[in-house]
Amino acid sequence: MAPLLEARNVSKVFSGGLFSRAQNIALDDFSFALEDAPPSITAVVGESGSGKTTLARLLLGLAAPTSGSVRYNGKDLRKHSRAEWRTFIREVQVIFQDPYEVYNPFYTVDHVLKEPIRKFALAGTKAQGRALMEEALTAVGLRPEETLGRHPHQLSGGQRQRIMVARALLLKPRVIIADEPVSMVDASLRATILNNLRQINRQFGISILYITHDLTTAYQLSENIIVLYRGGVAEVGSVERVVQHPQHPYTRLLVGSVPLPDPRRPWEAAPAPSALGREMTAASCRFADRCPSAMPVCIEVRPPLYQTNPDRAAACYLYDDAPAMATGDINQVFVGEAAD
Amino acid sequence: MTADTARHATAQAQAGQPLLQVRDLRVYYHTPRGAAKAVDGVSFSLEPGERLGLVGESGSGKSTIALSLMRLIKPPGVIEGGEVLLGGEDLLAKSEEEMRQVRLAGVAMVAQGAMNSLNPVKRVREQILDGLADHGQPIAKRAVADTLGALLRSVGLKPEVAGMFPHELSGGMKQRVVTAIAISLRPKVIIADEPTSALDVVVQRQIMDTLLRVQQDLGAAVILIGHDMGLMAQFVTRLGVMYAGKLVELCPVQAIFDEPLMPYSQLLIASLPSLTKKGELRGIPGLPPSLLDRPTGCPFRARCPHAFDRCAVEEPALRELRPGHWAACHLY
């Protein structure tokens, strides 16, 4: 059976403008399949410029890939009929970073909930619509009587973001793509929203792609993780394996840079990049210029993903005694998914 | 105040009194619906060379404290009362012109998103020199290159950056430039208000390392404002917890992790996600009270699992419950 949502050899290149020949490869030959049997939570982690938001936009059909295809139910999004597209935009929902921008300050928050009900004719009567809204709000831990009828400014950022989760839930989606859903929310409210996401994954069987720069919440929420660096996969696999025993030098740098909330465990000194004295080329490993372990070969040819464990692969020559994987195979190292 | 008197003031401070003393600071924002008490009677002091953290959720008043120390509160905000003593001199009693000289030379701030405040059409060199000239510290033409080079090197940038425009710099580099401007007059107190909030963890760590080195080079004290407890654990020596305009706990940083006393601090520590062990994610239920309509008693009582009768009628004062460990709670 075809995977539910799939990126197949997807690349996205932004050109530098009319008079510039510079090209920015935001995502480079990326393949990944999101299954919903069983429902999963996969984290995509990377710094700004890693391509994680580009990936979200491609998977949502908000941007078209330069090459490759994004498929839903096995069919290229570009070939979807009107009816299939309508199904897609209902079943694949998104939660964006900024819970402030999506609201119109003149409307009550009811508006953002009523709109999808109207658009997708989810309710036959007003009362049914109201019941749906209350059900969705309750599912994210908000009291409908304290939420409905309010204006956005009367609610906290955390409440507004939970309403966005409720809005996504209304449509009974199969996939939720959450792009930095808690980065603008206070720390004390973050846990609540992440708990909401975990609950709807378990309770409603909705698969979640959690896109973030925050390794800690990715570790807590997801089963599998994809570490992106400058448009390519640096390391991928079970989150337990990747975070507790990172292999790729970039993942190690990332894990080592997280400020642990424990004064007794200070930051370790970051290793200096190895001085190769050679310019990076388009074929070089994307991390070679910052890598403490860089070797001449890293400048010449980009390494493939080496499958170092049954549940993990790293794109680094330090592990070239392990079998190399094709880029399309990253799902092989995911845990909790049926092997095929 | 000139740089000389600032130095003199520090000499005084080193002779036994704290470098900075904030006493009963009150800052209200006057709105049509009444006064929002953003900072409501906050007192703390800062020793020379100390790194103090202030944490709290949005609206707890931590950034308002930063702006007050710089005397940069804008209407409808008003500093209603209190004292901010820098080396014994009350900053709140100074004229605007005197205060302008204290900024950068006495107290400097690296604000949240400060990297976006660089002028896009001026080279880094001019932006740094502007600050110096504005404070009556112009540099002789011959010395410019050396001074700028040394300043940029101290924040981990190459001297060549002086000739660049902001758009040629990455976010981390811009944040370093802003830090270089902040330390250009060797301030005694550096206020860093979420200095790394828009940066990636790897860059964040480099910036914090830079700030630490600069702080030690200058012998300055730092107030780090933010909500990332991890960053606090890694950087500060003492931590203050703000809640609804009040300082509710103040202690050595290790103590807040080992034995938080105020229930809000306890829940805050319990809500921190771990990178070493998977567990349940626990938020803090409820919301902070409206600053316009402050309830009687303890501001946290509506969310507090241990609240009892007294909490509703009497506001707990910040008391020293363990040596060096202050908290505002009736449980103790």
Measured between CA atoms, the residue of chain B closest to residue A194 is: B281
- Quick check: A188 and B231 CB within 8 A? no
User: What is the DSSP code (8-state) at residue A319?
Assistant: G
Residue ranges per domain, chain B? Answer: 3-236, 255-332
- Quick check: B273 and A259 CB within 8 A? no
Collect contacts of A305-313 with beta carbons under 8 A, ≥24 apart.
A305/A233, A305/A236, A305/A329, A305/A330, A307/A332, A307/A333, A308/A247, A309/A237, A309/A241, A309/A333, A311/A237, A311/A238, A311/A241, A311/A335, A312/A235, A312/A236, A312/A237, A312/A238, A312/A241, A312/A242, A312/A247, A313/A235, A313/A236, A313/A237
- Quick check: B233 and A255 CB within 8 A? no
- Quick check: A264 and B254 CB within 8 A? yes
Closest-CA distance, B7 to chain A, in angstroms, reads 32
Measured between CA atoms, the residue of chain A closest to residue B236 is: A263
- Quick check: B271 and A191 CB within 8 A? yes
Task: Name the maximum alpha-carbon separation found in chain A.
Answer: 70
Across the A:B interface, residue pairs with CB atoms under 8 Å apart total 116
Could you tell me if B267 lies within 8 Å of chain A, comparing CB atoms? yes
Q: What is the ipTM for the molecules in this complex?
A: 0.83
Could you tell me if B93 lies within 8 Å of chain A, comparing CB atoms? no
Cα separation, A71 vs A91, whole angstroms: 13
pLDDT for residue A18: 63
> What fold is seen in the domain B3-236?
Rossmann fold (3.40.50)
- Quick check: B171 and A48 CB within 8 A? yes
B202 interaction partners in chain A (CB closer than 8 Å): 47, 253-254, 257, 270
Q: Is A159 among the domain residues? A: no
Closest-CA distance, B223 to chain A, in angstroms, reads 17
User: What is the DSSP code (8-state) at residue A153?
Assistant: G
Q: Is A42 among the domain residues? A: no
Task: Give the dihedral sign, CA A215/A184/B328/B65.
Answer: positive
> What is the per-residue DSSP string for B183-221?
HTT--SEEEEESTTTTS-HHHHHHHHHHHHHHHHHHT-E
Phi–psi pair at A162, nearest 5 degrees: -70, -30
Q: Is A6 among the domain residues? A: no
Q: Could you give the 3-state DSSP secondary structure of residue B148?
A: helix
Q: Is A111 among the domain residues? A: no
pLDDT for residue A195: 87
Q: Is A169 among the domain residues? A: no
pLDDT for residue B9: 46
Q: Is A338 among the domain residues? A: yes
Question: What's the domain count of chain A?
Answer: 1
pLDDT for residue B2: 46
pLDDT in tens, chain B (332 residues): 444 444 544 444 445 679 999 999 999 999 888 888 999 999 999 999 999 999 998 888 998 999 999 999 988 899 999 999 998 899 999 999 999 888 888 999 988 777 778 899 999 999 998 888 877 777 778 888 888 998 898 888 889 999 999 988 888 888 889 988 888 888 999 999 988 877 788 888 888 988 898 899 888 999 999 988 999 999 999 999 999 999 999 999 999 999 999 999 999 998 888 888 888 888 888 778 888 888 899 999 999 999 999 999 999 999 999 999 999 999 99
Closest-CA distance, B256 to chain A, in angstroms, reads 10
pLDDT for residue B5: 47
Nearest to A48 among B200, B229, B279 (CB): B200
Domain membership of residue A318 as a residue range: 248-259+271-340
Could you tell me if B283 lies within 8 Å of chain A, comparing CB atoms? yes
Closest-CA distance, B200 to chain A, in angstroms, reads 6
Closest-CA distance, B133 to chain A, in angstroms, reads 36
Could you tell me if B227 lies within 8 Å of chain A, comparing CB atoms? yes
- Quick check: A189 and B202 CB within 8 A? no
Closest-CA distance, A270 to chain B, in angstroms, reads 9
User: B38 and B64 in contact (C-beta within 8 Å)?
Assistant: yes
B232 interaction partners in chain A (CB closer than 8 Å): 261
- Quick check: A156 and B228 CB within 8 A? no
B273 interaction partners in chain A (CB closer than 8 Å): 190-191, 194, 216-217, 219-220
Nearest to B281 among A191, A257, A267 (CB): A191
Pairing verdict, β A175-179 and A92-95: parallel
pLDDT for residue A318: 96
pLDDT in tens, chain A (340 residues): 678 999 999 999 987 666 666 678 899 999 999 988 889 999 999 988 888 889 999 999 999 999 999 999 999 999 999 999 999 999 999 998 876 677 788 888 888 899 889 888 888 899 999 999 998 888 888 888 888 888 888 887 778 888 888 898 888 899 999 998 887 777 777 888 888 899 889 999 999 999 999 999 999 999 999 999 999 999 999 999 999 999 999 999 999 999 999 999 988 877 788 877 778 888 999 999 999 999 999 999 999 999 999 999 999 999 999 999 987 788 889 987 433 3
Could you tell me if B303 lies within 8 Å of chain A, comparing CB atoms? no
To test the contact with chain B by mutation, choose from A50, A165, A262 the residue with the greatest count of B C-beta atoms within 10 A, namely A262
- Quick check: B283 and A190 CB within 8 A? yes
Could you tell me if B233 lies within 8 Å of chain A, comparing CB atoms? yes
pLDDT for residue A154: 81
- Quick check: A270 and B205 CB within 8 A? yes
Measured between CA atoms, the residue of chain B closest to residue A195 is: B281
Nearest to B233 among A190, A244, A259 (CB): A259
